[in-house]
Amino acid sequence: MEYTTLGWTDLKVSRIGLGTWQYSEAWGLTDYEKAKQVIAKAVELGINFFDTAMVYGRGMSEEFLGKALKELGVKRDDVVIATKIPGEFLNPHDIFKSVDKSLKRLGVDSIDLLQLHWPPCWHNFPTSAYAKTLERLVLLGKVKYLGVSNYPVVLIEELRSSFSFTDIVSMQYRFNLAERWAEEELIPYAEANDLTFIPWSPLAKGALTGKYSPGALPEFKDVRGGEAVFHPENFVKLEKLLNTLKDVSAKYGRTPTQVVLNWMLKYSPVILPIPGAKTPEQVEELAGALGWELSYEDWRRIDEESRSIRISYATW
Which run of H or E residues covers position 3? strand 3-5
Interatomic CA distance for residues 82 and 18, integer angstroms: 10
Count of CB atoms situated within 10 Å of the CB of 265: 21
Catalytic residue, candidates 3, 23, 32, 56:
56
Contact 223, 229 (CB under 8 A): no
Contact 35, 42 (CB under 8 A): no
Interatomic CA distance for residues 284 and 76, integer angstroms: 23
Contact 265, 259 (CB under 8 A): no
Count of CB atoms situated within 10 Å of the CB of 193: 16
Q: Which region, left, alpha or beta, applies to residue 205 given φ > 0 means left and ψ of -120 to 50 means alpha? A: left
Which run of H or E residues covers position 303? helix 296-307
Interatomic CA distance for residues 263 and 211, integer angstroms: 18
Interatomic CA distance for residues 257 and 246, integer angstroms: 9
Per the annotation, the verdict on 173 as an active-site residue is no
Task: Kindly calculate the radius of gyration of the chain based on its CA atoms and give it in whole angstroms.
Answer: 19
Annotated catalytic residues are 56
